[in-house]
Structure 1
Amino acid sequence: MFQTRRHAIAAALALCFSASAVFAQTAWPSHPVKLVVGFPAGSSPDLMARTIAEPLSQALGQPVVVENKVGAGGNIGADAVAKATDDHTLGLMINGNLTIAKILNPATTYDPLKDLQPVSLLAVSPLVLAVPAGTAASGKAFFDEARASGDKWNYGTPGVGTVAHLGMELLKGKAGMVPVHVPYPGNPQVITALIGGQIQMALLPPGLALTQVKAGKLKAIGVTSAGRSSVAPELPSLGEAGVQGLQLEIWNAVAAPVGLPKAHVQKLATLLAEIVRRPDIRQKILNQGWQVAGTSPEGLAKRIAVDTAAMSDVIQKNNIKAN
């Protein structure tokens, strides 16, 4: 009997050691997590990444290190995430990196719909339709004048294939106007052209537009979200100006390589949703010009599908190609 009991104890201990070994192998993360951003330090995605990095590190029990891999509108960073195989690399990305990158440029070296998986939509923001300060008094009057002006009016963007470009083409169709696209190197040049009257309209991020509006140099017609936004609650939606069916937002999201186990993805999504909804973090994100979302992987996947369909239609109808 003693021998039998000893064998039973030995078997139980072996089972415990085996379970501990399995746990050690499956515990995640087991070392620092890399959060790749495809934009330079100080950019909006970089600020978002650094806002969530410390609280996410605390929640995971491992350092979260922000790494900037800059270029191609964020696609170089997205490609690095898509090709990562270490189970400890994530990416903070914008709309285009997760939706239309391959459609705009077939030479893009990753496929956002095949090589990346959604984790969480962190925050969204509308764009502001900005115009020169002396423009028509109301949104309705502005669109009436824009339609009457035909192709004599121009609009500016920070480049072909940007959200501002695709968004304006979408707006043109819904508003029944036909201003001509004038691409610039970046939004600073777009703002200068607006103030100088070389162009008549542009879609700008709220943080850039509202600074100029408050200084009296530009006027805001409205925001591109379906309704008013907490980012700029004083501004009407373009729907209030008579443009129906428009919903266009820029967003930041976290994505992972397609091979990251679903359990890790779900863990990350839950933690990120909790983090961005914390009052202190929510306020930091609002101060950066964003409205908190904090979705599940399924919520981000749905947003990717909707935006991809809408923007793909605009790209194909207008034969837009980005280099």
Structure 2
Amino acid sequence: MEAVFGLARLARALVLVAAGTSAFAQQGTPAPVRKEAAPPAVAAWPTKPVKLVIGFPPGSVQDLSARALSEPLAKALGQPVIVENKAGASGTIAGAFVAKATDLHTFGVMNNSQLTIAKLLNPAIQYDPARDLTPVALIGTTPMVLVVGAAAPGKTPLDWLGWLRGQGDKASYGSPGNGTPGHLGMELIKSRSGLDTMHVPFQGNPQIITALLGGHLQAALLPPGLAMQQVAAGKLKAVAVTSERRSVLAPDLPTMREVGVMGADVELWTALAGPASLPPHVRDKLASTVIEVVKADETRQRLLTAGWQAAPSTGEGLRVRMKNDTKTFGGIIMMRNIRADL
């Protein structure tokens, strides 16, 4: 019997020793620390040529802005910058192409409509500006110039505007397509001025100028960089600019307000955007580089020559522009029941 009790006492002692050893280990020996994996290094960028996709033909205002930017941007990035034109469908072909890009080196130089109301105009397009594109940076802005053919009688902007109004729906105006700023801006002017000119869509502004010079159109809204060359040559007559204030791009022209058309303030802008999948480090590097390049005197002059006022800002500043234009142009679309080219 004593042997049995002895074995029991021995077992309890062993349990106590084991418990004490465990407690000592918990109190005196720190638990092993799990090492977190180091964050992956941000990949170098760019690693190959950067492509700027334009939704309009060579010679168009968007094309000119991209080409003014391409050389200094290439120097800053250390890689070639290639401008590629994918014209058609009011720029939405190019918009869809950029939205689907996955190579981290394809971007779009886009205008108001491509980055704002494209989906409102045509729900069938293959991208949604708000969902499928990343705003990178604003590049520049410009008003548009209301021009009429050289055959318009009179000597003043008020004379030419009065003549155009008197033509009613016998007169026609051109734009680079349904939903482009040239179209929506003109419809806004019509709603504020009593004009009743008919809309004729074209592939781009160079084709519109050809039609104006040939007498096939009576009016159009054109960027100053294209309009003022023809005005200076006496081939077109300029009525007014669409900005709230007079522009350095056409300092002698009155505003639409000055010729009695109130509430028709519209600016065209050009901006850089990428696909929604664009990594933040690529977006931020490209944005900061573009802003730095556009602020340089040489680039500002290049843009001015191409018909743009340099207006560099971050993607957040671009988002504000997009929001405001969506409201303004969205109202015109609803009021005029405008639909995209199909």
Structure 2 SS opposite 1:178: coil
Is the counterpart of residue 169 in structure 1 residue 169 in structure 2? no
Residues 1:174 and 1:65: Cα distance change in structure 2 (over 3 Å)? same
The change in CA–CA distance for 1:54 and 1:67 in structure 2 (over 3 A counts) is same
Question: In the TM superposition, what whole-angstrom CA distance separates every residue of 1:69-126 from its partner, at most 9, and x where no partner exists?
Answer: 4443332222222112333332222222111222222221011110001111101122
| 2:241 maps to which of 223, 226, 239 | 223
TM-score by length of 1: 0.82
Contact 2:61 2:225 in 1 (8 A): no
**C-alpha distance in structure 1 between counterparts of 2:110 and 2:206, whole Å:** 22
Aligned counterpart for 1:178 among listed residues 183, 196, 200: 196
**SS where residue 140 of structure 2 aligns?**
strand
Q: Tell me the C-alpha RMSD between the 2 structures.
A: 2.8
Partner of 1:55 in structure 2? 72
Unaligned runs of 5+ in 2: 1-34
Equivalents in 2 of 1:184, 1:71: separation in Å?
A: 9
- State the match for 2:145 in structure 1: 128
One-letter amino acid of the structure 2 residue matched with residue 176 of structure 1:
G
Q: Distance in 2 between matches of 1:188 and 1:275?
A: 28
Task: Report the number of matched residues.
Answer: 305
2:5 is aligned to none
Query: Counterpart of 1:26?
Result: 42
Please say if 1:244 is aligned against 2:282: no
- Quick one: distance in 2 between partners of 1:235 and 1:160? 27
Q: Does 2:139 match 1:139?
A: no
Whether 1:116 aligns to 2:133 is yes
Alignment partner, residue 285 of structure 1: 303
2:63 counterpart residue number: 46
Poorly superposed stretches of 4+, deviation over 6 Å: none
Question: What displacement does 1:258 show?
Answer: 1.5
Do the aligned partners of 2:61 and 2:226 also contact (CA within 8 Å) in 1? no
* 8 Å Cα contact 1:224/1:249 also seen in 2: yes
Of 146, 150, 155, 2:173 maps to 155
Whole-angstrom distance in 2 between the partners of 1:190 and 1:76: 20
**2:328 aligned to 300, 303, 310, which one?**
310
Q: Give the Cα–Cα distance (whole angstroms) in 1 for the partners of residues 194 and 159 of structure 2.
A: 14
CA positional deviation for 1:197: 5.1
SS of 2:51 mapped into structure 1:
strand
Contact 1:36-1:69 at 8 Å conserved across structures? no
Cα distance in 2 for partners of 1:164, 1:261 equals 33
Q: Which residue of 2 aligns with 1:36?
A: 52
1:202–1:69: structure 2 CA closer, same or farther, 3 Å change rule? Answer: closer
The residue that corresponds to 2:92 in the other structure is: 75
Relative to 1, partners in 2 of residues 1:227 and 1:27: Cα closer, same or farther, differing over 3 Å?
A: same
Whether the 8 Å CA contact 2:72–2:299 is kept in 1: the answer is no
Query: How far is the alpha carbon of 1:189 from its aligned partner?
Result: 5.3
Q: CA deviation at 1:224?
A: 1.0
Query: After superposition, what is the alpha-carbon deviation per residue over 1:22-61, rounded to whole angstroms, capped at 9, x for unaligned?
Result: 4xx3043151253231344554433433332333333334
**Kindly, what percent of the aligned residue pairs are identical?**
49
Q: TM-score when scaled to structure 2?
A: 0.78
Query: Runs of 5+ in structure 1 lacking a partner?
Result: 1-13
Provide Cα deviations, 1:154-181, integer angstroms capped at 9, x if missing partner. Answer: 3333443332221110111122332333
| Residue-by-residue CA offset, 1:132-175 (whole Å, 9 max, x unaligned) | 33433333444455555544443333443332221110111122
Matched, 1:213 2:231: yes
Q: For 1:273 and 1:261, locate their aligned partners in 2 and report how far apart those are by CA, in whole Å.
A: 18
Contact kept in structure 2, 1:29 and 1:62, CA below 8 Å: no
Comparing 260-269 with 222-231, greater Cα deviation is found at 260-269
Distance 1:193 1:81 in 2: 31
